[in-house]
Amino acid sequence: MNTLKVGICGLGTVGSGTVNVLQRNAATISARAGVNIEIVHVGARRDNPLCDITPYKVSRDIFEVVRDPNVDLVIELIGGTTIAKDLVTEAINNGKHVVTANKALIALYGNDLLALAAEKGVTVAFEAAVAGGIPIIKAVREGVAANEIKWLAGIINGTGNFILTEMREKGRDFADVLAEAQALGYAEADPTFDVEGIDAAHKLVILASLAFGMPFRFEKCFTEGISNIDALDVKFAEELGYRIKHLGIARRCENGIELRVHPTLIPEKRLIANVNGVMNAVLVNGDASGPTLYYGAGAGADATASAVIADVVDIARGNQIPMMGFAPEEVSKQRILPIEEVQTAFYLRISAEDKPGVLSEIATALSARGISIEAIIQKEAQDDEVRVPIIILTNRTVESKMIDAVSTIEQFDFVQRPVVRVRVESLAG
């Protein structure tokens, strides 16, 4: 049996997990690949006590791994987009295949890296870049290859999902849950990438490109975080039969592709609405398959290592499936809709004075822009409160019309600004 010699760069959570799974399941992995997969070189600034690298050559300079003529395939697990980009570029130029879990690297620089890999006759694979242990890239690229994909929607950041789950189940405030998520290691000391949707946007851009056959275009993805979600809105959404999830949504429309990450109300009866804690899920709707849901651990040492090694096995087998899911000449730039052109329904929470005529003026402001109301709830004033929350669900409308309507409503002297506005999706097949 031939041998594929592997170099690993980075010994953090995923790197140590990859070493452990390759060691633990060596016989099964080789039997599946038809090739012995052997770690020969590890590059890391320091050892990780969670894995044993004593059998291998170890370098503190990770670039020694990509320059090692004995290495056939480099696994990049250092993260970031500066050193990682240089490392992957040099590996490709040295004729080595690359497997990476680096979603930011692929979302920002994947077009150039894949083009260079094609020129050099090697593969850059990135299953582990999206949704950890869920084989969602393989599912989109291969499993639903017969389909014209209509849309996909995903909970693709476990930190945000954990926060929203705790807010819903325990009525806690965002800041309180975020502090716990940091203490548990779910969120970084600087949680911006997670709670403001940047991490999810990186992943969505990758999925959308595979689904619709277009280059990676991170700069075109609309991104909105969850830091402004109030426990009140989580509670009111529940009363209306919805749950708030931080979704990445990509949809094919007549005039382009929607590419957006934001908090979203979805009906509580949907399976994806019941994905809780740090788990991830992606819903893919194809014209032939209908909606299919992919669920599992979105992070973690072994779960992500599973995806990393699946790519290694594919390369060892000599699989010739295009990494973008389409023949290279069929990948083409498509128009990405600005958020102002996107159509969704909306949840509005308006804090207004409790007096006659308020509902009428708000309804008129919406109606004047062709926005119809599906449901409305006015809560009773509590004790000596002057203002009461008015909750409105609208039917679908163009975002620009809703922006205009909310701007008008916020000018009413009986309304306390700002108006809370959250998009609503049915996610029906």
Clarify whether residues 225 and 192 are in a common domain: yes
Asked, for residue 11, whether it belongs to a domain, the answer is yes
Better-predicted residue by pLDDT, 71 or 320:
71
- Could you tell me if 415 and 345 lie in one domain? yes
pLDDT band of residue 131 (cuts 50, 70, 90) is: very high
Q: Are residues 177 and 235 in the same domain?
A: yes
Query: How sure is the predictor about 148, in pLDDT bands with cuts at 50, 70 and 90?
Result: very high
Q: What percent of the chain has pLDDT over 90?
A: 91
In a shared domain, residues 56 and 158:
no
310, part of any domain: no
pLDDT at 252: 97
Total domains, the chain: 3
The rounded mean pLDDT for the chain is: 95
Q: How confident is the model at residue 383 (pLDDT cuts 50, 70, 90)?
A: low
Examine the pLDDT at 217 and tell me if it is beyond 90. yes
What is the tens place of the pLDDT at every residue in 292-348?
999 999 999 999 999 999 999 999 999 878 888 898 999 999 999 999 999 999 999
- Reply yes or no on whether the pLDDT at 384 is more than 70: no
Active site residues: 203
DSSP 246-263: EEEEEEEETTEEEEEEEE
Rounded Cα gap, residues 387 and 412, in angstroms? 13
pLDDT for position 47: 94
Note whether 66 and 33 are within 8 A (CB).
Answer: no
**Residues contacting 213, CB < 8 A, separation 6+:** 324, 325, 326, 330, 331, 332
Instruction: Decide which of 262, 297, 332 is a domain's last residue.
Output: 297
Alpha helices in 213-330 (DSSP H): 231-239, 301-317
- Predicted confidence band at 381 (pLDDT cuts at 50, 70, 90)? low
- CATH no. for residue 143? 3.30.360.10
Evaluate if residue 2 carries a pLDDT over 70.
Answer: yes
First to last CA, the chain: 47
| Axis-axis angle for helices 158-170, 231-239 (nearest 10) | 70
Task: Specify the higher pLDDT residue, 380 or 327.
Answer: 327
| Last residue in a domain, options 100, 129, 158 | 129
* Better pLDDT: 26 or 416: 26
Q: Is residue 200 part of a domain?
A: yes
Domain CATH code at residue 368: 3.30.70.260
| Mean pLDDT along residues 250-258 | 96
Whether residues 142 and 125 fall in one domain: no
Domain boundary among 77, 98, 129: 129
335, part of any domain: no
User: How do residues 77-110 score in pLDDT, each as one tens digit?
Assistant: 999 999 999 999 999 999 999 999 999 999 999 9
E-strand spans in 85-228? 97-100, 124-125, 149-155, 222-223
Considering the domain architecture, whether residues 143 and 167 belong to the same structural domain is answered as: yes
> 229 falls in which pLDDT band (50, 70, 90)?
very high
Q: Which helix (H) or strand (E) holds 41?
A: strand 36-43
Q: What is the pLDDT of residue 1?
A: 76
Co-location of 147 and 40 in the same domain: no
The reply to whether 146 and 34 lie within a common domain is no
- pLDDT(21) > 70: yes
Measure the CA–CA gap between 248 and 155, rounded to whole angstroms: 7
**pLDDT attached to residue 56:** 97
Does 318 map to a domain? no
Name the 3-class secondary structure at 293: strand
Query: Would you say residue 38 lies in a domain?
Result: yes
pLDDT tens, 35-67? 999 999 999 999 999 999 999 999 999 999 999
Confidence check: pLDDT of 253 > 90: yes
pLDDT digits (tens, 9 = 90+) for 185-207: 888 889 999 999 999 999 999 99
Supply the pLDDT for residue 382.
61
DSSP state of 59: E
One domain, residues 124 and 142: no
* Residues 85 and 167 both lie in one domain: no
Residue span of the structural domain in which 54 resides: 3-129
Q: Are residues 258 and 389 in the same domain?
A: no
- Do residues 163 and 124 share a domain? no
* For residue 373, pLDDT beyond 70: yes
In a domain, 216, yes or no: yes
Q: What's the CA dihedral at 423, 278, 187, 184 to 10 degrees?
A: 140
In a domain, 64, yes or no: yes
Task: Tell whether the model's pLDDT for residue 138 goes beyond 80.
Answer: yes
CATH number of the domain at 31, please.
3.40.50.720
